[in-house]
Amino acid sequence: MKRKKQEPLKRKPSRYPTADEKNHHLPNKVSEAQAASYGIPAQVPGFDTTKILKPYSSRLTKTQKQLLPVSQNIGGIEMPDAVRQFAQKNALFPHLETALRLVHASFPSLKSVKLAYEVDWEVDNESWIGINIQISGETDQVLEQYLFFNRQMTQQIPPEKSGKILLGIGGLSNA
């Protein structure tokens, strides 16, 4: 028995590149964002992205300007972003303005006022806006001013809102 010599099978050329082939002739398949992240220029012949991105970016900046709050102050006091977000979430802006007006009316020896978003770490979901003030005066006099402030708060701000705005007094001195 004689064996017939078999010829090797002819394979069709693969449509996928092999590892040893050089693929420099293939078009760049990298997006501009990917190219920028790798620090290589994105080569897209005949495509000018500035015509597309320029009008888009100008619209984007106009939109961003519209979304930014006009003022980061309330009642003449600087309002941190966390305070603004909490006040917006709980509809506290008019009540916060009233509380700040009452602070200025109740404490004539006021040195400084700062707003802060404060969280009670011992009680779940308990947070408020702290109006932290520095004042000077005798203890009895400051206590009377504090009681006057509290009476005005209960008369002018609803209880469900006044519980989210608390006063903190510090820096008590006779100077």
For 116-174, write each residue's pLDDT tens digit: 999 988 888 899 999 999 999 898 999 999 999 999 999 999 999 999 999 999 877 66
pLDDT of res. 52: 47
Domains, in order of start, for the chain = 32-67 (no CATH), 73-173 (3.30.70)
**What are the C-alpha distances in Å from 128 to residues 59, 103, 160, 162, 170?**
37, 17, 12, 9, 18
pLDDT of res. 50: 52
pLDDT (average), residues 18-23: 53
For 66-106, write each residue's pLDDT tens digit: 554 445 788 888 999 999 999 999 999 999 999 999 999 99
Q: Which pTM value belongs to this model? A: 0.58
Contact, 173 vs 112, CB < 8 A?
A: no
**What are the C-alpha distances in Å from 129 to residues 111, 151, 152?**
19, 19, 18
Confidence of residue 28 (pLDDT cuts 50, 70, 90): very low
Reported as type and span, the H/E element at residue 171 is strand 165-173
pLDDT of res. 15: 64
